[in-house]
Amino acid sequence: MPEASFLFSQYGRVVDLLPEIVLILDDENRILDANKTAADELGVVVRPSHPKYVFDILPEDERNIFRNLLPFTDQLNLETKFRKRDGSVIDVTGIVRILHSGQTKYWVLVMRDVTEEKRKELDLLRFSNVIHNTINPIQISSANGTMVYVNPAFEKVTGYSNTELIGKNPNILNSRKHSKEFWSGVWKHIISGKVWVGRIENQRKDGSPFFTELVISPIVDLQGKIVGYLGAHRDITEQIILEQRLVRSQRMESIGTLAAGIAHEVGNPLTAISSLVQVIQRTSKDEFAKEKLELINSQVNRITRIIRELVDFSRPSTHVVKPTNINRIVKEALNIVQYGKKVKDITFSLDLDDQLPEIAAVPDQIVQVFINILMNAVDSLDERRGSISVHSRKNDHAIEIIVHDTGKGIESSALEKIFEPFYTTKTTGQGTGLGLWVSYGIVKSFGGDVFVESIPEKGSTFTVSFPRKGV
Ligand SMILES: Nc1ncnc2c1ncn2[C@@H]1O[C@H](COP(=O)(O)OP(=O)(O)OP(=O)(O)O)[C@@H](O)[C@H]1O
Ligand SMILES: [Mg+2]
């Protein structure tokens, strides 16, 4: 066996000072020499009487690399694993070079222990995979607040793509629902290194709102300096909408009770006035008085009509509930609405699921619901050109009819009010503000619900849903 420690001895054992593992192999993979680090870390002690092979310090599955590569390579960068003295395995990376000495070839391995680096890399990889694939929308901002990373869930919920967001300030999602003071409070909190938690209303690219529970935590470097911020959202839009609907349905119930009471109290005196007017009309000879009485009569009729609607809302229906084909109802309502002269510049489109099961309802009342919703859609176009589409569909629990218009839309602050009685934005004579209230009452009485989404200046979408099993 050749004596190879001369490779080192010329300069003394300089290689013993290196933190790297240095090994010299011959062409039979025998370790001819090893530096101090190799001895300390791997327990390689070179004794000519007990030759050691490189395979002795390689885990099983790494051995082939040496068998296959070394004999044919003069130099290469190598990444492999060594088995330590205590049996544990370390990751190493480094270079392999060939040395010629006369006819003999030697291989020099200079390898560095990168186990810790690899572990960190893996941790980081795992961490970034979790962040990337989680269903929670996540954004990472730099210290000055511009976004440097957003995950796919964030893109999905905001409607913006990665490229539209990176480099931008997160206030691109600002719904303007929170005051400047609110946001400066948030900033003050996180700049001081603290974690901020709160509920916020954001705005999607299309202008619609989404609600999230947001946790913003500062990212600090080893010196404790803030280098960025991690914003993790939990989308609670669904929950907020359900809460709002519940509040609305409770409010409607109490308004309904109040309205029924008023209608009852006002109804009796009104009937009395109406009969008195008729009596005087019949007996009076005075033309002037007769004419004025006629006016009183028509005003009383108007009040009576409103009162009747109030009563209708709060009293259980006396009409007969029967299996109702909702598509037929929708078409009937559309026919009635299309007769109006305001509709000449409006394109109507229908996309009805012809496999819809029937619902249990009073057909005349449901027609009224869709007439009200369609008339509102027509009004929202304000004699401008536009379109109204009606779409019906089903899922496991419900049948839904969606009426979409490209009209003037509804401010988000008014969205809750439109279902209240007498809320109207129309001039007197154009609307009483009872249409949606009555419709809501009818749909509720058959176990259904009505909800609305709207973007001002773009249009509104009313969704009427009925339970599949009827009432
Ligand atoms: N499709 C829509 N687009 C825009 N605004 C709408 C739409 N539907 C309803 N609204 C708003 O909601 C309000 C209330 O509607 P609702 O049908 O209850 O009353 P109205 O249409 O004003 O009067 P009416 O009692 O004659 O129906 C409307 O005045 C309007 O401001
Ligand atoms: Mg209306």
CA 122 to chain CA mean position, Å: 29
CA 446 to chain CA mean position, Å: 31
**Looking at the structure, do residues 441 and 326 belong to the same domain, yes or no?**
yes
178, two tokens: 């929170």
- Residue 2's pLDDT is 46
CB-based contacts of 81: which residues, under 8 Å, 6+ apart? 58, 59, 62, 89, 90, 91, 92
Tokens 């013993």 map to which residue? Answer: 16
The conformation of residue 357, written as its DSSP 8-state character, comes to: P
**Looking at the structure, do residues 290 and 330 belong to the same domain, yes or no?**
no
Q: Look at residues 235, 261, 293 and tell me which one is the last residue of a structural domain.
A: 235
**Looking at the structure, do residues 222 and 252 belong to the same domain, yes or no?**
no
Q: What torsion do the CA atoms of 370, 372, 374, 375 make, to the nearest 10 degrees?
A: 160
**Looking at the structure, do residues 440 and 383 belong to the same domain, yes or no?**
yes
**Looking at the structure, do residues 143 and 230 belong to the same domain, yes or no?**
yes
Look at residues 85, 84, 55, 90 and name the one whose alpha carbon lies nearest to residue 70. Answer: 55
- Residue 14's pLDDT is 81
Distance from C-alpha of 439 to C-alpha of 78, rounded to nearest angstrom: 75
**Looking at the structure, do residues 262 and 228 belong to the same domain, yes or no?**
no
Q: How far is the CA of 310 from the centre of ligand 1 (A)?
A: 17
The answer to whether 300 and 270 are in contact (CB under 8 A) is yes
The answer to whether 91 and 115 are in contact (CB under 8 A) is yes
Q: Is 306 in the pocket of ligand 1 (CB under 6 A)?
A: no
CATH number of the domain where residue 391 is located: 3.30.565.10
Q: Is 432 in the pocket of ligand 1 (CB under 6 A)?
A: yes
Q: Look at residues 235, 263, 291 and tell me which one is the last residue of a structural domain.
A: 235
Q: Counting atoms of ligand 1 from 1, which one is nearest the CA of 432? A: 25
**Looking at the structure, do residues 335 and 247 belong to the same domain, yes or no?**
no
Pocket test for ligand 1, best of 376, 388, 422, 458 (most atoms within 8 A of CB): 376
**Looking at the structure, do residues 454 and 366 belong to the same domain, yes or no?**
yes
The boundaries of the domain holding residue 49 are: 6-114
The answer to whether 17 and 38 are in contact (CB under 8 A) is no
Q: Look at residues 85, 114, 143 and tell me which one is the last residue of a structural domain.
A: 114
Pocket test for ligand 1, best of 424, 439, 463 (most atoms within 8 A of CB): 424
**Looking at the structure, do residues 278 and 346 belong to the same domain, yes or no?**
no
Distance from C-alpha of 396 to C-alpha of 125, rounded to nearest angstrom: 40
**Looking at the structure, do residues 54 and 185 belong to the same domain, yes or no?**
no
Q: What is the residue type of 416?
A: E
Residue 225 lies inside a defined structural domain of this protein = yes
The conformation of residue 230, written as its DSSP 8-state character, comes to: E
Look at residues 408, 417, 420 and name the one whose alpha carbon lies nearest to residue 383. Answer: 408
**Looking at the structure, do residues 100 and 138 belong to the same domain, yes or no?**
no
Domain count, the chain: 4
Residue 121 lies inside a defined structural domain of this protein = no
Distance from C-alpha of 358 to C-alpha of 16, rounded to nearest angstrom: 88
Residues of the chain by 3-state class (helix, strand, coil), percent to 5: 45, 30, 30
**Looking at the structure, do residues 190 and 146 belong to the same domain, yes or no?**
yes
Q: What is the pLDDT along the chain (471 residues), one digit of tens a residue?
A: 444 454 555 555 788 889 999 999 888 889 999 999 999 999 988 887 888 889 889 998 888 877 776 666 777 888 999 999 888 999 999 999 988 888 888 889 999 999 999 999 999 899 889 999 999 999 999 999 899 999 999 999 999 999 999 999 999 999 988 999 999 999 999 999 999 999 999 999 998 889 999 999 999 999 999 999 999 999 999 888 888 777 777 777 777 778 778 887 888 888 899 999 999 988 988 999 999 999 999 889 888 888 877 776 665 556 678 889 999 999 988 988 887 767 788 999 999 999 999 998 888 889 889 999 999 999 999 878 899 999 999 998 999 999 999 999 999 889 989 998 889 999 877 888 888 988 998 898 889 999 999 999 999 999 999 998 644
The answer to whether 405 and 381 are in contact (CB under 8 A) is yes
CATH number of the domain where residue 258 is located: 1.10.287
Q: How far is the CA of 376 from the centre of ligand 1 (A)?
A: 5
82, two tokens: 């060594």
The answer to whether 433 and 322 are in contact (CB under 8 A) is no
- Residue 425's pLDDT is 94
The model's pTM is 0.56
